[in-house]
């Protein structure tokens, strides 16, 4: 459709207005239409019109999504309903846009009340764009004008939101919001208008004309640097891409940084040092650390040896009790025996709590029934290829079941969550004791209980920390993953959830965990283990042209193919490479345990890409410093945008 001074550059059918806020839309409440981007004279317009007015050959029929299909909406029986709008994003805005007459069809007059919903707006009048939440019914876009009103929400029943945004990005600069990945802040390509916007926002202390030229060359870096009031950029960590933008961002005070941002610095890492791991600690070497009354001596040196080489299998049964906090490193043999007696009594008292529940009581205790059912199901498929657990009547399975049910009595708030059986299985295998395994498991859960909380905030923060480390170590790999919609590193979720339990052969898991439990060389070594695996697979991922599905498939196929010694060697080398950097950003130092957090972080930190804080001097940390890994962080990965349906 073209005419003098008029050219359609984008057209998409199946774009509906939902005129009712009811849970279930019917045919009368949906207005089918066509969205177009039109170049007219010296302006670019975004035009929507109902099908009857849109002209052309587009034919759109109303149909509810089939609940059995892959792109289905929630079924009629689904109890909850979230239309996806915040209160200020009404289904149909009460503030109607100023009508603009466009020319999709010459001389067309509204033939029905639906025609009154047609609108046309200049791209220069747009202030922000909001995308729908991922997986929430049909994808939609809400456009907000400079006047403060929002246009009717556009629901794309047959996909097309990303295609439309790509076209709009030819004419506009879409900047990502640090607080909401579903928002886009709109800037025109016109330098004078952009300078004026920066002037009113007061984001820069320097001359705004220089800022504009930098913005046009690298909009994403300059946008984030403006919020942070910085002039140095970590170029590798920031790549322009089409992700959310902010709406009304008030200018921060001159004496305070923009909330949620940290200063971005250039980071030049030195060469990666060579690392050699040692042999496992032997019984003879362990005996040299046992002093009078059975007390262990030179514990930091002993922990350092466990970190560098692991333990001989014959030592694990006793050493794991120390590593997991069941027994004290400084306790004597007699003190340990007394402690075990006390803990044995405590365990069986808790076990009796659920053992003594009658069938009639359990019938009225849905929580206990749910835990029992879930535990029985998970235990029946946990490490069944291991000789210790194989066979239908294996007593080890009964012990797993009893320990996990007793843990529900020990930790009522958390109870049992799928994946805990994976953590308990190696512990019971090593300790060969129900009581010892329970208390060692409790010690392990003290480290990772946040992984199993319903909110999943801890897992999100750990993925954020992992992304931060990887962006410092290998920005090119991060950029590649971003380009393939894998930048959130969600394919690493299982790694962090159960500390690589399903990624390595069973004996290697024992070695990996005892190394991680030492807390050396600092907290969050498990994140560096994940970085090491990605670093080992870097060339395969980047040179094979993998998309997001292929990346996920490749990562899953690494199971049981990794060498734990190679991974630990590389993880330690990455740690040394990072800590040798004299200008390591402060938030990276926090992740590595080299600096205390500057402040408590909010539960919803900024989205990816993650900015780096200014480098601060590294504190002196002894290589064998005693610390306990805390799988936590200060960054959150927001969900990836939904795929168009």
The answer to which of 142-156, 186-200, 204-218, 626-640 has the lowest mean pLDDT is 626-640
| Model pLDDT for residues 440-480, shown as the tens digit of each residue | 999 999 999 999 999 999 999 999 999 999 999 999 999 89
Q: What is the secondary structure of 159-186 as a DSSP string? A: --HHHHHHHHHHHEEEEEPSS-TTEEEE
- pLDDT value for 396: 95
- pLDDT value for 194: 46
What is the pLDDT confidence band of residue 158, given thresholds at 50, 70 and 90?
confident
What is the pLDDT confidence band of residue 20, given thresholds at 50, 70 and 90?
low
Give yes or no for a contact between 29 and 20, defined as CB atoms under 8 angstroms apart.
yes
- pLDDT value for 137: 61
Average pLDDT over residues 597-619: 42
- Residue 17 half-sphere exposure toward CB, CA atoms < 13 A: 21
| Model pLDDT for residues 210-227, shown as the tens digit of each residue | 444 454 445 444 544 444
Q: Which of 138-147, 412-421, 621-630 has the highest mean pLDDT?
A: 412-421
Give yes or no for a contact between 641 and 488, defined as CB atoms under 8 angstroms apart.
no
Average pLDDT over residues 331-341: 97
Average pLDDT over residues 247-265: 38
Average pLDDT over residues 483-499: 94
- pLDDT value for 255: 37
- Buried b / exposed e over 336-374, threshold 16 CB at 10 Å, is beebbeebbeebeebbeebeeeeeeeeeeeeebeebbeb
- Whether the predicted pLDDT of 563 surpasses 70: yes
Dihedral sign of CA atoms 163, 165, 171, 174 in order? negative
Average pLDDT over residues 507-523: 97
Residue (of 70, 77, 177, 73) closest to 127 by Cα position: 177
Mean pLDDT, rounded, of the chain:
77
- pLDDT value for 427: 98
Three-state secondary structure of 383-422: CCCCCCCCCCCCHHHHHHHHHHHHHHHHCCCCCCCCCHHH
The answer to which of 113-127, 419-433, 489-503 has the lowest mean pLDDT is 113-127
| Model pLDDT for residues 163-175, shown as the tens digit of each residue | 898 899 888 888 8
Q: Which of 6-15, 547-556, 605-614 has the highest mean pLDDT?
A: 547-556
What is the pLDDT confidence band of residue 192, given thresholds at 50, 70 and 90?
very low
- Whether the predicted pLDDT of 423 surpasses 90: yes
- Whether the predicted pLDDT of 621 surpasses 80: no
Percent of the chain with pLDDT over 70: 68
- Whether the predicted pLDDT of 58 surpasses 80: no
- pLDDT value for 22: 53
- Whether the predicted pLDDT of 258 surpasses 90: no
- pLDDT value for 332: 96
Average pLDDT over residues 604-633: 39
The answer to which of 77-91, 112-126, 378-392 has the lowest mean pLDDT is 77-91
Residue (of 535, 409, 42) closest to 527 by Cα position: 535
Average pLDDT over residues 478-504: 94
| Model pLDDT for residues 24-41, shown as the tens digit of each residue | 566 677 889 999 999 988
What is the rounded distance in angstroms from the CA atom of residue 520 to the CA atom of residue 456?
26
């Amino acid at each position: 459709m073209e005419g003098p001074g008029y050219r359609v550059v984008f057209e998409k059918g199946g774009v509906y207005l939902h005129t009712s806020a009811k849970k279930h839309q019917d045919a009368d409440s949906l207005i089918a239409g066509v969205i177009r981007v039109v170049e007219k004279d010296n302006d670019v317009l975004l035009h929507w019109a109902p099908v009857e007015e849109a002209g052309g050959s587009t034919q759109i029929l109303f149909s509810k999504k089939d609940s059995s299909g892959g792109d289905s909406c929630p079924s009629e029986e689904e109890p909850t309903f979230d239309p996806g709008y915040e209160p200020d994003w009404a289904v149909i805005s009460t503030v109607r846009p100023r009508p603009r007459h466009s020319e999709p069809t010459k001389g067309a007059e509204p033939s029905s009340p639906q025609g009154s919903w047609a609108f046309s707006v200049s791209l220069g009048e747009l202030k922000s764009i909001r995308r729908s939440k991922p997986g929430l019914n049909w994808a939609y876009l809400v456009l907000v004008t400079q006047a403060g009103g929002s246009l009717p929400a556009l629901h794309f029943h047959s996909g097309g939101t990303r295609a439309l945004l790509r076209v709009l990005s030819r004419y506009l600069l879409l900047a990502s919001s640090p607080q909401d990945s579903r928002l886009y802040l709109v800037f025109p390509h016109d330098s004078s208008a952009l300078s004026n916007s920066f002037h009113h926002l007061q984001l820069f202390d320097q001359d705004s004309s220089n800022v504009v030229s930098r913005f046009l060359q690298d909009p994403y870096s300059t946008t984030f640097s403006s919020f942070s009031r910085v002039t140095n950029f970590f170029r590798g960590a920031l790549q322009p891409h089409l992700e959310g933008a902010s709406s009304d961002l008030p200018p921060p005070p001159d004496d305070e940084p923009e909330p949620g941002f940290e200063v971005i610095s250039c980071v030049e890492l030195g060469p990666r040092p060579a690392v050699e791991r040692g042999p496992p600690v032997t019984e003879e070497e362990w005996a040299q650390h046992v002093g009078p009354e059975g007390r262990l001596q030179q514990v930091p040196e002993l922990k350092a040896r466990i970190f560098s080489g692991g333990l001989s299998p014959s030592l694990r049964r006793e050493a794991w009790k120390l590593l997991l906090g069941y027994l004290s490193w400084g306790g004597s043999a007699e003190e340990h025996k007394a402690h075990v007696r006390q803990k044995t009594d405590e365990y069986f008292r808790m076990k009796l709590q659920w053992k003594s529940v009658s069938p009639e009581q359990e019938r009225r205790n849905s929580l206990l029934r749910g835990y029992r059912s879930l535990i029985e199901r998970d235990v029946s498929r946990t490490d069944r290829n291991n000789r210790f657990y194989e066979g239908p009547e294996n007593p080890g399975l009964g012990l797993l079941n009893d320990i996990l049910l007793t843990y529900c009595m020990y930790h009522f708030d958390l109870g049992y969550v799928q994946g805990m059986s994976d953590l308990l299985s190696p512990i019971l295998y090593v300790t060969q004791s129900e009581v010892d395994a329970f208390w060692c498991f409790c010690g392990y859960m003290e480290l990772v209980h946040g992984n199993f909380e319903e909110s999943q905030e801890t897992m999100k923060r750990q993925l954020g920390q992992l992304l931060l480390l990887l962006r410092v170590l290998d920005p090119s790999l991060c950029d590649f993953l971003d380009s393939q919609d894998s930048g959130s590193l969600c394919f690493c979720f299982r790694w962090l959830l159960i500390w690589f339990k399903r990624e390595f052969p069973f004996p290697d898991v024992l070695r990996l965990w005892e190394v991680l439990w030492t807390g050396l060389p600092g907290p969050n070594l498990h994140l560096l283990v994940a970085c090491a695996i990605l670093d080992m697979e870097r060339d395969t991922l980047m040179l094979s042209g993998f998309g997001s599905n292929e990346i996920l498939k490749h990562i899953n196929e690494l199971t049981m193919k990794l060498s734990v010694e190679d991974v630990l060697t590389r993880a330690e080398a990455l740690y040394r490479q990072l800590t040798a950097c004299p200008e390591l950003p402060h938030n990276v130092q926090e992740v590595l345990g080299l600096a205390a957090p500057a402040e408590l972080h909010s539960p919803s930190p900024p989205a990816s890409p993650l900015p780096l804080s200014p480098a601060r001097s590294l504190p002196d940390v002894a290589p064998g410093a005693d610390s306990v890994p805390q799988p936590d962080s200060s960054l959150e990965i927001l969900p990836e945008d939904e795929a168009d349906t």
